[in-house]
Amino acid sequence: MIALDKWADSSQTEILGAVTTGNIWQFGILYRQTQSIEQGINLYRVTEELEIVMRILLAALINES
């Protein structure tokens, strides 16, 4: 997210990011103004919680429009 901050459109105030091992996903948000990261506390297992992961990703795409 920090590297993307250097290249992304400056009108975006937040950047959503994810860390994954492939089976486990964790999300976070970079607040560009303060250069701080908020780490999500939940871990999502793709096999059992795929629908939740997809909802998070789709919500991020919809909110960017």
Tell me which DSSP letter residue 34 carries: T
Residue 9's pLDDT band (boundaries 50, 70, 90)?
confident
| pLDDT 10s digits, 24-52 | 999 999 999 999 999 999 999 998 999 99
Token readout for 8 is 């992304």
Determine the average pLDDT of the residues in 8-31.
90
Cα–Cα distance between 47 and 22 in angstroms, integer?
10
Q: Domains of the chain: which residue ranges?
A: 2-64
pTM higher than 0.85: no
pLDDT at 23: 93
Give the rounded percent of residues in the chain with a pLDDT score beyond 70: 97
Determine the average pLDDT of the residues in 9-28.
90
